[in-house]
Amino acid sequence: MQKLERINRYNYTLSSGSDIRDYAGDHLSEFQKRLTEAFIWLEREMFIAPKPDETGEWRYITRRGERVLQSEDFASYAKESLLQSDQLHPVLVRKVKQLFLRGDYDTAIFQAFKAVEVAVRKAGKYEKSDIGVPLMRKAFNPNTGTLTNSHSESSEKEAMSNLFAGAIGLFKNPASHRDIEGITPEEASDYIRVANCLIKMVDSEK
């Protein structure tokens, strides 16, 4: 596919083609739909694009498409799709995204939850010496916390304190003391998205 100068969706999904009929058998109609969906996905990801000066369904493989045909580049694409920048808080895009793409997952997780800590400290106007779980308990103290929502029910205030303290204790503190081995890209992206949610919650309390 990389060597083709142009490809045609209609030709690839044509039911009269012997290859597609032999492969799909009795499931030809459903297989055609799946191929069409695959072409649309390739276009959405900008791996293929309408070929200039051509009519109909002719497409060419984009520079991005050519890059991901290489195994290492496709692996990078697969990682990036797990943690898309448009869904991340800007601070995580700056401080965490590249660490994640390089496969430095324990550092990426640590930096993500450090960003939570910094966001809480800044929003609550606390001192630099206020860190970790004690900072979360202070900021979200149900009675005196500067980031506690005064309109929330008492049980919700307590839950918010537990949420932030638990997240920092579970995800940031272990990563600051030792290497976390065996973590997968999927797991790392899940943890980072937790940090992403917490930072956005802090922003909403400002």
- How confident is the model over 70-99, as a mean pLDDT? 80
Q: Tell me, what's the pLDDT at 20?
A: 75
Higher pLDDT: 24 or 17? It is 24
Closest CA to 9 of 43, 59, 51, 65: 59
Helix H or strand E segment including 170: none
**d(Cα 152, Cα 149) in Å, to the nearest integer?**
6
Q: What are the tens digits of pLDDT across the range 133-143?
A: 999 999 999 99
Instruction: Classify residue 51 by its DSSP letter.
Output: P
Position 22 confidence tier, pLDDT thresholds 50, 70, 90: confident
- In whole angstroms, what is the distance from residue 98 CA to residue 75 CA? 14
pLDDT digits 0-9 by tens, 161-171: 999 999 999 98
pLDDT band at 1 (very low <50, low <70, confident <90, very high): very low
Say what the pLDDT of residue 3 is: 59
**All structural domains of the chain with their residue ranges:** 7-69, 73-205
- Contact yes or no for 138/147 (Cβ under 8 A): no
The pLDDT value given to residue 66 = 82
- Give the model's pLDDT for residue 44: 83
